[in-house]
A and B are shown apart, each in its own frame.
Chain A
């Protein structure tokens, strides 16, 4: 057997010194000194959801969004590549002809649905999309009471996100817990940064 680069872990051997240390409870004192020190230091807990919220980094893969171009036209051309790339078959796209200028081409999605209950959040759909229409955004509060609510339709997905695409992220911001008829929401105030640690 290869004996290169081996390190035998050190086990303390019980001796007289060890016994003496134990009688004065040195092992407990050592441990308690750590916990006591942390007792006096600043808390690192994020007070989520009542006061603070974590805004993820830009690469974060949260709930899906569908994007528009600068003129407000839908970027999706219903090519169904995202459907093919998806490992769990949770996207449904039905294309239709449309030459009213709703989309960037004369083909738009009639139906664009994703079942978030089955989704992996792997981001393969985002990688597959040739027009950057679908993106995994930074919304992560996805719990719902009914399974139907986990199916997101095109109308919902086209709404702007709570965190804009070019926002830096990776920070804790002030937030407010809101109770609405449709459930609970944590509304962040992106410009009120909170420092931690």
Chain B
């Protein structure tokens, strides 16, 4: 029998009271500025309530006052871990509205950029996840590879984090031979490095204990809550926009969609690892198949002529001047275009009134929607498991708070 007597020897019932705990926004494991309000009964979580908005910058409103090309750098600041995908989603939406098709080379370049970005994003996810659960080493190794990717970006477009590589009508710079060489080298070393992470994590008993059967979500619940990306596929739903609503050249590429079986944190981890391997395959194929040719559309009002022509040719100078000062008019209409970003479905909904600026721009950000499953996943789990759940959802707050 439990002894419930206090110091004076009087009988006293032990009661545990509900406790409200604020987790974040400065908690090191809260991935940026997530503030979780947790109702606890002892160590068990009764309710998890994400409180967001600490990084709100009004991106959607800002877009209404900017010319269409001027908004591209702002999209870099959404999911800053993988800026290429954000650029891509936006330019594809505007191009859909304009009804233009970019040249083949630009399509391949965009796919390479987006897949490199997916690798960079997943590396941060896996690395940070490891640190949150006490496996510091893997972060250092993951960042070593991420550094290689950032060097590639620097070579390609001059930015490391905020890339602004895509432009409406193509890409801003062509790939150099050195870039292709280094990219191929990355593809060669990457599978071996992924094996290393797996050797550090996948079989490790602590990693398994902390992730297996933690934060389980069934396929139906995942769909109901609007999960997307690796988090949805971890629950066994085979849904990937790259295959199901192909854009650019994804329908010509050979790759597999990894799906999980149980829907716990461990499945979401395995899906991400496998996705990195598939990304490497995609990049290899793109490097092999990429044709020569122009990397922007031949429409001087949307993509001004190259600088050399501007100096010599009066017409080119006029196009250049007009593009810089007024940009271009976009036909009246509404459009939604979604892509498979590393975190899930990233969609841009643009309403155009026929002027040079969007009338309204709505961004469907995956982190925001994914975050609403925190409560479902952590209910009834231990407090320490909340950390694993958040890491497995991989929210980025530049994107979530917009």
- Return 13 A-B CB contacts under 8 Å, by A number: A4-B243, A5-B257, A7-B258, A9-B258, A9-B271, A9-B274, A34-B137, A59-B157, A122-B72, A130-B310, A132-B307, A170-B151, A170-B178
Q: How far does the alpha carbon of A115 sit from the alpha carbon of B391 in the complex, in Å? A: 37
If A6-B256, A121-B162 touch, whether A85 touches B238 (CB-CB below 8 Å) is: no
For residue B288, CB closer than 8 A to chain A, the reply is no
* Residue numbers in B under 8 Å from A44 (CB-CB): 144
CB contact list, B57-88 vs A, under 8 A: 66, 69-74, 76
Do residues B324 and A9 form an inter-chain contact, with CB atoms below 8 A? Answer: no
A-binding segment of B30-38, B197-205, B336-344: B197-205
Q: How far does the alpha carbon of A3 sit from the alpha carbon of B244 in the complex, in Å? A: 10
Do residues B144 and A123 form an inter-chain contact, with CB atoms below 8 A? Answer: no
* Residue numbers in B under 8 Å from A145 (CB-CB): none
For residue B351, CB closer than 8 A to chain A, the reply is no
* Residue numbers in A under 8 Å from B151 (CB-CB): 170
For residue A61, CB closer than 8 A to chain B, the reply is yes
Contact residue range for chain A? 35 or more
Write out, one digit per residue, whether chain B residues 164-180 have a CB within 8 A of any chain A CB (1) or not (0): 10000000110000100
For residue A164, CB closer than 8 A to chain B, the reply is no
**Chain B interface, number of residues (Cβ within 8 angstroms):** 57
Q: Which of B137, B259, B325 contacts A35 (CB 8 A)?
A: B137
CB distance from A95 to the nearest CB of B (A): 16
Q: How far does the alpha carbon of A12 sit from the alpha carbon of B208 in the complex, in Å? A: 10
Do residues A59 and B205 form an inter-chain contact, with CB atoms below 8 A? Answer: no
Do residues A122 and B266 form an inter-chain contact, with CB atoms below 8 A? Answer: no
Do residues B325 and A81 form an inter-chain contact, with CB atoms below 8 A? Answer: yes
Q: How far does the alpha carbon of A154 sit from the alpha carbon of B311 in the complex, in Å? A: 24
Write out, one digit per residue, whether chain A residues 111-124 have a CB within 8 A of any chain B CB (1) or not (0): 00000000011111
CB distance from A113 to the nearest CB of B (A): 19
Do residues A57 and B158 form an inter-chain contact, with CB atoms below 8 A? Answer: yes
For residue B369, CB closer than 8 A to chain A, the reply is no
Write out, one digit per residue, whether chain B residues 222-254 have a CB within 8 A of any chain A CB (1) or not (0): 000000000000000111000110000000001
Do residues B267 and A11 form an inter-chain contact, with CB atoms below 8 A? Answer: yes
Q: Which of A5, A30, A61, A81 contacts B199 (CB 8 A)?
A: A30
CB contact list, A1-48 vs B, under 8 A: 1-12, 22, 26-28, 30-31, 34-35, 44
10 shortest interchain CB distances as A-B pairs: A59-B158, A9-B270, A122-B73, A87-B70, A7-B256, A61-B158, A128-B324, A27-B203, A57-B155, A120-B73
* Residue numbers in A under 8 Å from B144 (CB-CB): 44
CB distance from B259 to the nearest CB of A (A): 6
CB distance from A144 to the nearest CB of B (A): 20
Question: Closest residue to A5 on the B side, CB-wise?
Answer: B256
* Residue numbers in A under 8 Å from B321 (CB-CB): 81, 130
CB distance from B31 to the nearest CB of A (A): 23
* Residue numbers in A under 8 Å from B270 (CB-CB): 9-11
* Residue numbers in B under 8 Å from A12 (CB-CB): 202-203
* Residue numbers in A under 8 Å from B70 (CB-CB): 85, 87, 124
Q: How far does the alpha carbon of A46 sit from the alpha carbon of B261 in the complex, in Å? A: 42
If A9-B259, A85-B324, A124-B73 touch, whether A2 touches B238 (CB-CB below 8 Å) is: yes
If A6-B259, A59-B173 touch, whether A30 touches B266 (CB-CB below 8 Å) is: no
Q: How far does the alpha carbon of A40 sit from the alpha carbon of B200 in the complex, in Å? A: 18
CB distance from B7 to the nearest CB of A (A): 45
Question: Closest residue to A30 on the B side, CB-wise?
Answer: B199
Do residues B162 and A120 form an inter-chain contact, with CB atoms below 8 A? Answer: yes
Do residues A8 and B261 form an inter-chain contact, with CB atoms below 8 A? Answer: yes
For residue B320, CB closer than 8 A to chain A, the reply is yes
Write out, one digit per residue, whether chain B residues 274-311 have a CB within 8 A of any chain A CB (1) or not (0): 10000000000000000000000000000000010011
12 extra interface residue pairs, beta carbon distance < 8 Å, beyond A5-B256, A120-B162, A170-B154: A1-B239, A7-B257, A7-B259, A8-B259, A9-B273, A9-B274, A11-B266, A26-B203, A34-B196, A87-B74, A122-B72, A136-B158
* Residue numbers in B under 8 Å from A60 (CB-CB): 154, 158
Do residues B324 and A81 form an inter-chain contact, with CB atoms below 8 A? Answer: yes
For residue A185, CB closer than 8 A to chain B, the reply is no
CB distance from B190 to the nearest CB of A (A): 15
Q: How far does the alpha carbon of A163 sit from the alpha carbon of B217 in the complex, in Å? A: 54
Report which residue of A7, A12, A44 has the largest number of chain B beta carbons within 10 angstroms of its beta carbon.
Answer: A7
CB distance from B128 to the nearest CB of A (A): 18
Question: Closest residue to B200 on the A side, CB-wise?
Answer: A31
Write out, one digit per residue, whether chain A residues 132-157 have a CB within 8 A of any chain B CB (1) or not (0): 10001000000000000000000000
Question: Closest residue to B236 on the A side, CB-wise?
Answer: A8
Question: Closest residue to A2 on the B side, CB-wise?
Answer: B244
CB distance from A147 to the nearest CB of B (A): 19
Q: How far does the alpha carbon of A57 sit from the alpha carbon of B254 in the complex, in Å? A: 32
Do residues A6 and B238 form an inter-chain contact, with CB atoms below 8 A? Answer: yes
* Residue numbers in A under 8 Å from B273 (CB-CB): 9
* Residue numbers in B under 8 Å from A27 (CB-CB): 203-205
For residue B260, CB closer than 8 A to chain A, the reply is yes
For residue A84, CB closer than 8 A to chain B, the reply is yes
Question: Closest residue to A27 on the B side, CB-wise?
Answer: B203
Question: Closest residue to B317 on the A side, CB-wise?
Answer: A130
For residue A56, CB closer than 8 A to chain B, the reply is yes
